Amino acid sequence: MKSVFDSLADLWSSVGGEPDALNDVRLTGEEPGLPSSFRIGAAAQATIAALGLAASVRYRRRTGKSQTVSVAMQHAVAEFESERFVSIDGVAAKGFRDPLAGIYRCRDGGWFRPHITFPHHKRLLTTLLGLPEAPDRESLAAAIADWDAVSLEDAVIARGAAGAALRSFAEWDALPQARAAAQEPLVRIERIGDAPRDLSVQAGNGVLSGLRVLDLTRVIAGPVCGRAFAAYGAQVLAISSHTLPSIPQLVLDTNRGKFSADLDLDMAPAAARLRELAAEADIFLQSYRPGALERRGFGPEALARLRPGIVYVQLSAYGREGPWAGRRGFDSLVQTAAGFNHAEMLAAGDGIPRELPCQVLDHASGQLMALGAMIALDHRHREGGSWLVEVSLARTAAWLRGLGRLETGLTAAGKPPDPSFYCYQRSAEGGRLGGISPAAALSATPPRLIRATPRLGADPACWQSSVPRQ
């Protein structure tokens, strides 16, 4: 099993990182990071450090100076659980799990995990099962028990909802989708258009100061990426819509550092406004289901024509290719479908499928998206061009699996974050917003979250002429 440093070196090499940059990294702490047979601490530390290295390289390109990049494992693990620790005036934010969430036994002895965090997904599921919109857990379990696991998965997907049948690693590996995802790069970075080199002068102390980011993401992975951009100094404008459901706990955590505007893209004026914003953006970040934004004219090639030099970053659940390429998916579902819940069950030996102890696929993918964007910005600086960055939860899952297992990892005791891991801002309501600070410690340009989370849609849909400098 490789060390965390060697895993970081492999990751860094896979995105074309300069080998000598690794001389500046300092990794501290030991595994296991959380109670799991999988190397969640290693995944957290490696991805966060890789993004920090990319930021350090960008700083060196602009100034000719080097800096150290230090990441403590327990701080990195806390950042991978950041939504658990966000608070207002010391009171933890309400959790986002629906009481009906979980995994259910099926008729054939298999298991099925429905995604019911969003009301429309729950409504589609209960309609399929012939249940009222708000069933009790016993009724839902009884209805699911009338189905075979994969048959229910197929029916749920056909209805436009989301869910996953439990699979072992061997069962997942036998699927065409698993093979398709495994053949993709962990972080795809490709040139999609021509543009002059970006030789602009850094506008502040943050390595991304002066850059503009449009963030059209929800839930965890994409918003974590946007939060990282904000921490490194970019102006991040999160675009939401009052017509779409949101999860307050996640918004409170992952929108720290950002601005927030409301645009209903079903309305022509709002779509036109988004196009105007994109024409002045450096990075366009989105995690809608594959094809959704392309149909509205906001795909990678369209925006590369609109704004030459743009870096377009997108996330999917299962990857670009394969029969599941357009399938709705979330961290918990990919864990279930791709074998992780089954593997943790075998490690525990109790016959009950087990979730990983944090949304590691989401958080790792968010860091990888930001890493890819930072590398693409470096390409834009050195050679010009418009760039596409793609990450999928399924490919991140394959990478996590490839890090190896910890034989006694499930017996580890989870530790509360050290008080030094927190940072605080004054919230939009006037209270004290607390949350986990960025785990990467850069000696010259440390990432910092300056702005507190705004209320959804509180800001105008425009770029700010003056924002707090890092």
Contact 66, 44 (CB under 8 A): no
Would you say residue 221 lies in a domain?
yes
- pLDDT (0 to 100) of residue 427: 77
Would you say residue 467 lies in a domain?
no
C-alpha span between 349 and 345 (Å, rounded): 6
Would you say residue 82 lies in a domain?
yes
Phi, psi of 72 (to 5 degrees): -90, 135
C-alpha span between 21 and 9 (Å, rounded): 10
- pLDDT (0 to 100) of residue 409: 93
Would you say residue 379 lies in a domain?
yes
Give 242's contacts (C-beta < 8 A, 6+ positions apart).
262, 264, 456, 457
Would you say residue 368 lies in a domain?
yes
Which helix (H) or strand (E) segment is 311 a member of? strand 311-316
| Beta bridge mates, 190 | 388
C-alpha span between 376 and 231 (Å, rounded): 18
- Cβ-in-10-Å burial (0-12, 13-18, 19+) of 158 comes to exposed
**Number of structural domains, the chain?**
1
**Tens digit of each residue's pLDDT, the chain (470 residues):** 999 999 999 999 999 999 999 999 999 999 998 999 999 999 999 999 999 999 999 999 989 999 999 999 999 999 999 999 999 998 888 777 888 999 999 999 999 999 998 888 999 999 999 999 889 999 999 999 999 999 999 999 999 999 999 999 999 999 999 999 999 999 999 999 999 999 886 667 899 999 999 999 999 999 999 999 999 999 999 999 998 888 889 999 999 999 999 999 999 999 999 999 999 999 999 999 888 999 999 999 999 999 999 999 999 999 999 999 999 999 999 999 999 999 999 999 999 999 999 999 999 999 999 999 999 999 999 999 999 999 999 999 999 999 999 999 999 887 789 999 999 988 777 789 999 999 999 999 999 999 999 999 999 999 998 554 44
Contact 397, 340 (CB under 8 A): yes
Would you say residue 136 lies in a domain?
no
Contact 332, 393 (CB under 8 A): no
- pLDDT (0 to 100) of residue 470: 45
CB-facing half-sphere around the CA of 416: CA atoms within 13 A: 6
C-alpha span between 397 and 364 (Å, rounded): 9
- The residue range of the domain holding 367 is 4-95+181-320+357-442
Q: Which amino acid is at 65?
A: K
pTM: 0.96
Contact 181, 398 (CB under 8 A): yes
3-state DSSP helix/strand/coil % of the chain, to nearest 5: 40, 15, 45
- CATH number, domain of 89, equals 3.40.50.10540
